[in-house]
Structure 1
Amino acid sequence: MSQATYELKAEARERVGKGSSRELRRNGLIPAVIYGDKQAPISIALNTNEVTKRIHAGGFMTTIATIELDGKKIKVLPKDYQLDPVRDFTMHVDFLRVSGNTQVTVEVPVHFLNEDKSGVKVGGVLNVVRHGVEVHCPADNIPEAINVDLSGKKIGDSIHISDVKLPKGVTPVIADRDFTIATIVAPAGGVTEEEAAEE
């Protein structure tokens, strides 16, 4: 799990709607909402620079944050954010309130390990089918990445979700089939006899 939790200071938003949102953005703030955990949604405003920095740092959607509002601390997980299509600045963020037993659905990036111990070393090409996998997991135990070990995989092999050891409590959203994450394929020109012998 990404342990790099962080805090954001927020102020309550009295007025909602397009006019007040535009005014907030002019003042360097982003409108946001906190919902979930069987409580009423709270409309808040956050510092634009702080949020943008967090989004560009990576792992924004899989890292739990603490929002400080009127002296209270609320644990949240970002669920969605909107960027201005032209100017690429953050327009709005939705946060899900999380507690110890909250289950969340998040997309976790896939990392491939030990390419040098697989068919890739002898000229095979790693064909990545999924760069991320959507999983159900406890909000306080979101994996930073799903690591796929390629050791011993040969040209022509496929790597399925069943080949991957997922952390405890983490299950793929697609449960009805053993989907492919990647394949190791022969290069476009084929493999030379020498490379095939090495393999």
Structure 2
Amino acid sequence: MSEEIKRIKRELVHKGAVIDIYEDTMEFPDGHTAKWDYIHHDGAAAVIPALPDGRILMVRQYRNALERETIEIPAGKLDNPKEPGIECASRELEEETGYRCEHLEPLLTLHTTVAFCNERIEVFAARNLIPSRQHLDEDEFIDVEAYTMEELKEKIFSGELQDSKTVAAILAYEVKYCQDRMEKRKTGK
């Protein structure tokens, strides 16, 4: 069916610093047309920084769209659409948390809002962290906090933690990296 739906026109409505907003004219199999919103984003990367004791470093920052502070994993926009996600994730890890990591491991890739936006976020796991220092942008005010996996899951299921990339990344990290540890505790091996 999607082969029968086609875009016949794309018009730039607003060019922003982070996103571009378009109005698409779509044609359907029965011949009628409709206007659809489309938001272009160059992409981003994020990272789950795990301390040796298993706690995860999170960043607390104000988000204008929600008019409140949020707790999230470190993340940022690609400097350009061709920048490798791993480079962006490494940069954001050090800028936002004051830690770096020599080897980031791919965790998952997600699209945040598929109905109207093409934003793609590559998420990496950072273990064996090396202390460094924060390099915040002039408009960034970030507090770094460490949480156990249980504390983070409690925040997810209570509704306190709602950022989609963060929720997906935490749950994926738990499945990929924490399940073996939990099984060993249960079996005593």
- TM-score, normalised to structure 1, is 0.24
Greater strand content: 1
Larger radius of gyration: 1
- TM-score, normalised to structure 2, is 0.25
